[in-house]
Structure 1
Amino acid sequence: MRNLPVFLLAALVLMMGVSSAQASDKLYLYTENFPPYNMSATGRAFEHNGSNIDGLCTEMVKAILNNTDLDYVIKLRNWDYGYNRALSKRNHGIFCTTYTESRAPRFKWVGPLTRNLWTIFAPAGTDLQIDRLEDAKGLRFGGYRNDVMTEYLLERGYEVSALDSDDLNPKRLELGQIDLWIADRLAGPYFASQQNVEGLDPVYSFNDTELFLAINLDTPDATVEKLNAGLRKVHETGMFEAIETKYGL
């Protein structure tokens, strides 16, 4: 190295600097198994390769990224892991995330990507009738950690047995380990079918909410603007409507 001409040394240093800058600008995006919004295409609990991750929100995020010059990685983990990475690390994000007033100052936002409808499911054959959320007071819900629906119930004094992910809650409901399960109206039946649980009864729906890509606060504004500009192009080309239609919305 000491015998290299000065101009070659300078070129090497410059190349190393460019490579380092490119690596630091890469986006690391996380999602969870939450069909049909996000899911492993191979049936695995975790995915390291974005090509093996599918679903409504995933297709929407990929379409947005394809309309930018951003380098990115998409990984599938459990929600709690991805959410905390997005909270704490620059250029990290998580989707699809429900936008709420309490979450608003924690992230920068890209979206909305789509909507969901919060739904309370009861066991098959139930005679339970819920006309308002307060009718479920005293019953034990199944939920999962750092999920907005779980947080909503806990903040209002409802009893929630929360796991690291939502996968096992349909089976817990069927076995009587919980009285009710709060989930998305579209996603709930997908989760249940994966656990070979059939006939769960959607007894009450509320809070039609918007879902976003949430980006760490230390991520440059220019990056977030590129993503939102990419979303506008997805709308303009008709791709947004086509993706929602594909998934029955």
Structure 2
Amino acid sequence: MIVHNQREKGAIAFVVFNQPEISTDKIPSVVMVFLMALAVSTTVQASPLNKFQLMTEHWAPYQYEDGKELKGYAVDIVAELLKRTGSSQTKKDIQLLPWARAYRELETTENTLLFSVTRTPERENKFKWVGPIFYNTTYLIALKDSHIKIEDGHSLKNYRFGTIRNDVSELYLKRYDVAPKNFSRHNNTKSNLEMLMRQRVDMIVVGWEAFKDDARSLGLDPDKFEKVFELDNANVSIAFHPKTPDRIIAHLQNTLDEIRSEGLFGKYLRKHGIEQPKGFP
């Protein structure tokens, strides 16, 4: 009998010549159990996302559509995650949906994931999480010539706000007891900006990076606006339906940690011109 130990692409193969057939009933049961467990584990790690509905929303510069191609910092991160976990899916399988629709799908439909989702205490137990992929500070933004000054959150009840339906923007305002009647609800920041320019709202609720990108896309100068109040600062992650198996979440988190440790977070942030808090990534 001649045995060769061959290594190719990180796998180990044993090639046996002139070896008579071995009946499985002669293999110790503990070995059979080990081999079966190894096979199951390998299958799970090879393609944990194949059956997932991959969803995102427009939130430039993190994720957005350029022509028919999906681009952005978070898209690059998720595409790398898919690749490293052995998924047959790519960024071409990611659906760009209105936020309210995508969020509803995540709440009600198994085998779904949504990015990028602000991870708040109110949402913590509603989903399972892999992240963070970046941090976002949410501001109230107004036109400079409106001269709005906010000393504390209790005065917010006196203003009108452009918000995104079911978004964290509404959640933050509700913390300050702002009534929904003060919300002008839309599907995206661009619509809120248009309402602000028409003086239909006093402020919009958005992160500064996303605001600058959307303002420029509408031909507006970001320097004519200002941050008048900071609502919150939170990590942004990939959210999964709560019935997603923990072993898959753990495997994806470990893979994301590897991507971050290799410096790809920083590379993609620089690629898209995004600033992050000191110490991240």
Q: Quickly name the TM-score band, shorter chain normalised.
A: 0.7 to 0.9
Among the aligned pairs, what percent are the same residue?
A: 25
Number of residue-to-residue matches in the alignment: 221
1:248 to 258, 268, 274: 274
1:26 to 45, 51, 73: 51
Distance 1:145 1:127 in 2: 27
1:190 corresponds to: 213
User: What do the CA deviations read for 1:7-56 (whole angstroms, capped 9, x no partner)?
Assistant: xxxxxxxxxxxxxxx899422111111111111021xxxx6xxxx21112
Task: State how 1:58-69 maps to structure 2 within 5 Å.
Answer: 58-69=75-86
The farther-off stretch of 182-191 and 118-127 is 118-127
Distance 2:157 2:234 in 1: 22
The DSSP-based 3-state class of the residue aligned with 2:216 is: helix
Structure number, greater radius of gyration: 2
The DSSP-based 3-state class of the residue aligned with 2:158 is: coil
Moved over 4 A (4+): 22-25
Distance 2:177 2:154 in 1: 10
User: What do the CA deviations read for 1:143-202 (whole angstroms, capped 9, x no partner)?
Assistant: 011101212213432222212333301110011010111111111121222223332222
Aligned residue type for 1:76: L
Distance 1:134 1:197 in 2: 30
1:54 to 71, 88, 91: 71
Residue 173 in structure 1 maps to residue 196 in structure 2 = yes
The farther-off stretch of 23-32 and 140-149 is 23-32
Distance 1:135 1:193 in 2: 30
1:209 corresponds to: 234
Contact 1:26 1:70 in 2 (8 A): no
User: What do the CA deviations read for 1:204-241 (whole angstroms, capped 9, x no partner)?
Assistant: 22412100000011222222222112201101211112
Contact 2:162 2:204 in 1 (8 A): yes
Contact 1:67 1:230 in 2 (8 A): yes
TM-score by length of 1: 0.81
Closer, same or farther in 2 for the Cα pair 1:24/1:90, shift >3 Å?
Answer: farther
Residue 233 in structure 1 maps to residue 258 in structure 2 = yes
Q: Which runs of 5+ in 1 are unaligned?
A: 1-21
CA RMSD between the two structures: 2.2
Contact 2:172 2:232 in 1 (8 A): no
Q: Which runs of 5+ in 2 are unaligned?
A: 1-46, 276-281
Contact 2:163 2:186 in 1 (8 A): yes
Distance 2:118 2:192 in 1: 20
Contact 2:74 2:133 in 1 (8 A): yes
Q: Which has the higher contact order (CA 8 A, sep 6+)?
A: 1
1:127 to 147, 164, 177: 147
Contact 1:171 1:197 in 2 (8 A): no
Contact 1:174 1:197 in 2 (8 A): no
User: What do the CA deviations read for 1:101-143 (whole angstroms, capped 9, x no partner)?
Assistant: 1111111100000001111111242222223333433000110
1:40 to 43, 51, 65: 65
Residue 220 in structure 1 maps to residue 240 in structure 2 = no
Q: In the TM superposition, what is the alpha-carbon distance from 1:75 to its structure 2 partner?
A: 1.0
Residue 94 in structure 1 maps to residue 105 in structure 2 = no
Contact 2:209 2:274 in 1 (8 A): no
Distance 1:164 1:171 in 2: 12
